[in-house]
Amino acid sequence: MALKVTKISRVNPATNSSHDTINSLVLPFTFFDLRWLKFHPTERVIFYKLDKDNSSRDSFHSVILPKLQLSLSAVLRHYLPLAGRLRWDPQDPKPHILVLPNDSVTLIVAESDADFSIISGKGLRPETEIRSLVPEFPVACDSPSVLALQVTLFPNQGLCIGVSSHHSIMDGKTVTMFIKSWAHVCKHETVALPENLTPFLDRTIINVPASLDTKILELLSYFSEEKNNLEKNKLRRSLKLPPMEKISPAVVRITLELTPESINKLRERAKKESTRSELHLSTFVVAYAYLWTCLVKARGGDVDRPVRFMYTADFRNRLDKPVPEMYFGNCVFPLGCYGYKAGVFLGKDGFVNSIGIISDSVKGIALHNIEALCELYVDGSKRVKPGTQAGSVAGSNRFGLYTSDFGWGKPVNSEIVSIDRNEAFSMSERTDGPGGVEIGLCLKKREMDLFISLFQNGLQN
C-alpha cells in the first residue's frame, strides 16, 4: 500500500467575522485527566464508502474536502480546547490546556492506492497499513498540541478520517461526541449544535479530594524514567510522552463480533457452570471475560505466569454530584484485576473464573468511593511483577459512533488504532444491528490464528 500526503493545513476555530478573534482560554486539569498524562495518544480511524459521484479526485477536492474543513472550523468554535496546547508552568501543581487567539488544529490530507473494501473490512489486515491512516502525534514536546486529524482518499472508492488526540484531554465518550458534532455540522451545514452534542466545559463540576491529584502524580513519577532526576521531591514538570516502538510488520488486525445471540449463549453458560447466583452478567462483563480467556489461552505457556487485566469505568453518574453526559474531558478511571496467574484462565473453567472476577470488580464500583478505588489502583499498579501478561479494553458499545454521518452515509467500519501498542481489545456497537458488541484486536499472525480458533470454537461448542 502506498500513501501520499497531498496537503497539510492548519484549521482555526471559526469566528463571527473577519475582525473577530478567539479569546484566550485556560482549562485546568482535573484528577481524571492526570491519570492519562503519560499515556500514548488515542488514535481512531473511521471509514466511509463513497458513491461514484463523490469518490473522484475532483469531487473530493472541490466538494468534500472544503466541506470538511469549513465544518471543522465551525465545530472547533464549540470545542475550543482542541485547538490549544498543553502547558505545565513551574509555579503550577498540575498542567492545563492553553488556547491562544491564533491556535489551530493540523489537518493532513492524503491519498492511498489500497483496496478500500479490504482495508475497511473486518478481516485480517496488516496493522502497519491501518496505522498509516492516523496522523503521527508529537511525543517529545514540552507543550504538545492536543489533536491532529488526517483525511485519506481512496480514489473512486471511499475515504477515512483519522483522529489522534492526547488522552489527558478527553476520554472516549468525548472523542466520539466531537466526531459526531463535526459530522452534524458538516451534514446539516450549520454552526449550531443540538444540546446532546454541545460540550460542557466547566471543570468545577468535578468534585474529588485534592489529595487524589497528588496520589496520581506520585504514581506517574514512580513509573517515570525521570524519577531519579527529581529535585527536593518535587515532581518533574515534563509533558513529554514515552517513546513509541514501531509496530512489527508481523502484527495483524481483525474485527470480530459477538451477536446478541452469542452474548446470551455465553451468559447462559456462565449461569450453568458457576456455583454463584449473584453474578453481574452485563454484555460488557460477558464479552470481556470471554475475550480475556481466549487471549490467555492463545498465549499459552507457564500456568504460573502473572496476569493482569484492566478496564475503565465512567464516573459521570458515580460522583456525589453527577457530571453532565456532555462533559468535555476525562471522567473515567482505570480499574484492575490483579494478583492472578494464567492457570486460573487456562482450564475448562477459565471462562467462568473470568466471569466471576470481572463481575466482582464491576459490582465493587458501587461499593467504593473514588478515594478507595484510587487507592486500590495505585497499590495494584505498584505490585505488578515484571513479565506480567497485561490486557485492557478501550471504547464502549454505548458510544454510538456509527451514527456519525457527514453527509455521505454512516461509517462502514471504525477502528481504535492505538490498541496495537499493547494487548488491548476495542469494543463498539455492531454495524449490523442493535445489541451485541464489535471487537478489535491486534496480535502477531501466529498468535492471532490461535486466538480466532479459540474464539470461534468456543461459540460453536
Per DSSP, the three-state class of 38 is coil
Contacts 24+ apart (CB under 8 A), 204-208: 205/321, 205/323, 205/324, 205/327, 206/30, 206/31, 206/32, 206/319, 206/323, 206/329, 206/331, 207/319, 207/320, 207/321, 208/30, 208/31, 208/319, 208/370, 208/371
Instruction: Tell me whether residue 171 is one of the annotated catalytic residues.
Output: no
DSSP character at residue 83: G
**Exposure string over 40-65, b if 16+ CB within 10 A, otherwise e:** bbbbbbbbbbbeeebbeeebbeeebb
C-alpha 350/C-alpha 342 separation (Å) is 9
Respond yes or no: is residue 405 known to be catalytic. yes
Active site residue: 103, 167, 184, 314, which one? 167
Q: β-pairing, 105-112 with 147-154?
A: parallel
Of 213, 349, 405, 449, which one is the catalytic site residue? Answer: 405
DSSP state of 271: H
CA distances 331 to 29, 30, 242, 404, Å, are 11, 9, 23, 22
What are 217's three cell numbers? 502524580
What type of residue is 199? P
Cite the beta strand spans of 282-331 per DSSP E: 306-314
Q: Are 11 and 76 spatial neighbours (Cβ–Cβ below 8 Å)? A: yes
Q: Which of 171-196 are b and which e, b meaning 16 or more Cβ less than 10 Å from the residue's Cβ?
A: bbbbbbbbbbbbbbbbeeeeeebeee
Chain centroid, CA 173 distance in Å: 9
Measure the CA–CA gap between 303 and 308, rounded to whole angstroms: 14
**H helix or E strand, kind and range, residue 49:** strand 42-49
Whether 178 and 79 have beta carbons less than 8 Å apart is answered as yes
Torsion angle (degrees, nearest 10) of CA 431, 432, 433, 434: -50
Grid cell for residue 238? 515534563
Rg of the Cα atoms in the chain: 22
Specify whether the CB–CB gap between 315 and 370 falls below 8 A.
yes
Residues labelled catalytic: 167, 405
